[in-house]
Structure 1
Amino acid sequence: MSRSLTLKKIDGKPGEVYYPLQLNNNPKPVAGPGELLVRLHAAALNHRDHFQRQHLYPAISFEHPLLADGCGVVEAAGPNASSSIIGKRVILTPSRGWDSAPEGPEDAFFTIGAHTGTDCGTAQDYVVIPEAEVELAPEYLSTAEAAALPLVGLTAWRAFVTKSGNALPGRNILITGIGGGVALSALQFAVAVGCNVYVTSGSPAKLERAMEMGAKGGVSYRDGDWNKKLTALLPSDRPYLDAVIDGAGGDIMARVTRLLKPGGIVSTYGMTVGPKMDWLMSAVMRNIELRGSTMGSRKEFAEMVAFVKKHQIRPIVSRVVKGLDNMSEIEGLYEDIREGRQFGKLIIEIVPDEKGGAKL
């Protein structure tokens, strides 16, 4: 038997409906040619999972398991798959349809988990997955930490490394909305590279934690003049931003245009404030570039995992609940997202972690 969590369809308009969670019992799957059977030990939530419950995400499936992030142990290998990987801990590629093209996906691109394009999702006991769609989990990570890495790590890697053009020592980088998983991963990557990182948040506690992680300074976006306060934090020998890694949208261009160097980059991976963002003539006159960035390719995923291993980076875990059938506490994870309480990733531990649990 393999349990799975799916969405239960009920009537309601997008943005008004909130689909309930449903626990299902399914036959244990069997690995086919080139496939691996993975016993999932932990899965992680993302903002997209909260959007799916409100029908604010495309191509939602009510049959396929939820969640895109997962870590587990390979239990069996199908024909033409390598048996040497049996017994090893792996993390799953969180998306499909993008192999290596730097410009964008070569094919129809989507994220796994409650999607009509694939029955793959990580909120289940067992998953069958092509061997090419896994990476060995870094050995030093707990299973919860490993499950926290894939989607946010890949998104942050493309936004910062591939798209910003400023993943270089000494560059001044602003990362907005610190506390979310992508922003925290971008912070960790930028610090490892040697950038001077500055952050925004509405929470003084989150700003303090970010500075403990290596940020040079932070400002509250609740302050009406936060961009002016940020100006005062920049180093005198480089009193400007080289790039902004943004997941909020809203009035970000009005805030940062004068802070950015001529030709500076705004790399945006989301718009949590709203689906539109103003573009200013002053940004045009300063040759500032706005670059959209969504997830990343299979090649970038492998590069990101290798970088994490090299620099011994630990994804930040906010909270872990135990049990795929622990519905009340899993609902609490969704509430954390809705209220913006988390600092890092929210994890469902499906199998007890032999490595000692998450390091919070």
Structure 2
Amino acid sequence: MKAMVLVGADQPLTLQAVDKPSLATGEALVQIKAAALNRRDYWITIGKYAGIKYPTILGSDGAGVVTEVGPDTDPYWLGKEVIINPGHEWGDHPAYQGKDFKIMGLPEDGSMAEYVKVKTEYLQAKPAHLTFEQAAAIPLAGLTAYRALFTKGGAKAGNKVLIVGAGAGTGTFAVQFAVAAGCQVFVTSGSGEKIERARQLGAAAGVNYKAQDWAEELKHLAGGFDVIIDSALGKDFAKVPGLCNPGARIVFFGATAGNIPELDARTLFAKQIQLLGTMMGTPDDFTAMLNLVNEHQIVPVVDEVFPLEDAQKAVDKMGSSSQFGKLVLRVS
């Protein structure tokens, strides 16, 4: 089969012929129709991610058709259009992942290939209202956003929700999911165009975080927030607790702008604010997320679709952070 292979840090992804995976009991072979990029793919290509091995086939997101199943494996999935849960071996505790948890696309080969092998327990039916390219955009970012908003953040109808960094894949999903749940949604972005696009997805308003008074402007617009979703952190995070309503939940899952700065502890305990870390999600989170997508006929935001052989161009675009929504590869 053909696959995009990473042979080393700061080396371009190259299209190569590699062996098609062989299957064990409980596994299925998925012919990938579309794959999508995540920020982790970019970090891996520049050598800034834990546990990197070379050569490797990246890609945590994929949608396609099951063409084979392993020996003594239920043939139910044969011929089915599927979407893949990229979080494997979560463990026994729903509150956190176990020591064996792993994400498809490293250490095991991922979806930037014509075929990928997956345990059948990680397969779900592709939402019927979506194309393969749209469905492939969902898994990692959609799961992360869902768990941050609902499992950890407890967002519900009527809550005021702030999404910090609305242009990323997780940010666009968080906007769509929160709007679907009946929340009043506000966003930040470094781009006025991205704020306007978030408004088109249902956000009530947004502010540019490059402005000196962005926090004051948000407070003027919203009054205060019940749930804040942040994947950037950095020095400006110190202003976030001041935007919270009493009992608010601040959920974070990344640190692209740096670590958590010194915070005013008095604000945290006086308002009984919760700081909650999260990462990916459980199989139950993944199922619930897809149920939300199907119930509300949510269509993921796809910024651009590239042919598989142009995967490096997609990685380069992700490195520039110029996209709004997901970058997708059409595989076959």
Q: TM-score, normalised by structure 2?
A: 0.95
Distance 1:76 1:25 in 2: 20
Distance apart, 1:26 and its partner CA: 1.8
Superposition misfits of 4+ residues, deviation over 6 angstroms: none
Distance apart, 1:303 and its partner CA: 1.3
Q: Name 1:332's counterpart in structure 2.
A: 313
Q: Is the 8 A contact 1:176 1:248 kept in 2?
A: yes
Does residue 1:6 correspond to 2:14, yes or no? no
Distance apart, 1:69 and its partner CA: 0.4
Q: Name 1:303's counterpart in structure 2.
A: 288
Gaps of 5+ in 1: 10-16, 352-360
Q: Name 2:176's counterpart in structure 1.
A: 188
Gaps of 5+ in 2: none
CA offsets per residue over residues 280-312 of structure 1, 9 Å max, x none?
Answer: 223233321110011111121111111111111
Percent identity over paired residues: 37
Distance 2:241 2:7 in 1: 44
Q: Name 1:317's counterpart in structure 2.
A: 302
Does residue 1:272 correspond to 2:256, yes or no? yes
Q: CA RMSD in A?
A: 1.5
Distance 1:298 1:292 in 2: 18
Does residue 1:220 correspond to 2:204, yes or no? no
> What SS does the aligned partner of 1:318 have?
strand
> What SS does the aligned partner of 1:64 have?
coil
Distance 2:129 2:278 in 1: 29
The residue identity in structure 2 corresponding to 1:291 is: L
CA offsets per residue over residues 112-144 of structure 1, 9 Å max, x none?
Answer: 2132xx3x3101111121111111110110110
2:148 is aligned, of 139, 149, 159, to 159
Distance 1:269 1:319 in 2: 24
Does residue 1:29 correspond to 2:21, yes or no? yes
Q: Is the 8 A contact 1:60 1:114 kept in 2?
A: yes
For residues 240-251 of structure 1, the aligned pairs below 5 Å read 240-251=224-235
Q: Name 2:129's counterpart in structure 1.
A: 140
Distance 1:29 1:54 in 2: 26
2:220 is aligned, of 232, 236, 242, to 232
CA offsets per residue over residues 208-242 of structure 1, 9 Å max, x none?
Answer: 010011001000001010011111212xxxx3210
Q: Name 2:96's counterpart in structure 1.
A: 104
Distance apart, 1:192 and its partner CA: 0.5
Distance 2:164 2:30 in 1: 36
Q: Is the 8 A contact 1:34 1:130 kept in 2?
A: yes
Q: Is the 8 A contact 2:21 2:117 kept in 1?
A: yes
Q: Name 1:13's counterpart in structure 2.
A: none
Q: Is the 8 A contact 2:140 2:280 kept in 1?
A: yes
Distance 2:314 2:56 in 1: 20
1:73 is aligned, of 49, 53, 65, to 65
2:77 is aligned, of 85, 97, 109, to 85
> What SS does the aligned partner of 2:248 have?
strand
Q: Relative to 1, partners in 2 of residues 1:321 and 1:200: Cα closer, same or farther, differing over 3 Å? A: same
Q: Name 1:19's counterpart in structure 2.
A: 11
Distance 2:192 2:42 in 1: 25
Q: Is the 8 A contact 1:100 1:298 kept in 2?
A: no
Q: TM-score, normalised by structure 1?
A: 0.88
Distance 1:89 1:270 in 2: 32
The residue identity in structure 1 corresponding to 2:272 is: N
> What SS does the aligned partner of 1:205 have?
helix
Q: Name 1:349's counterpart in structure 2.
A: 330
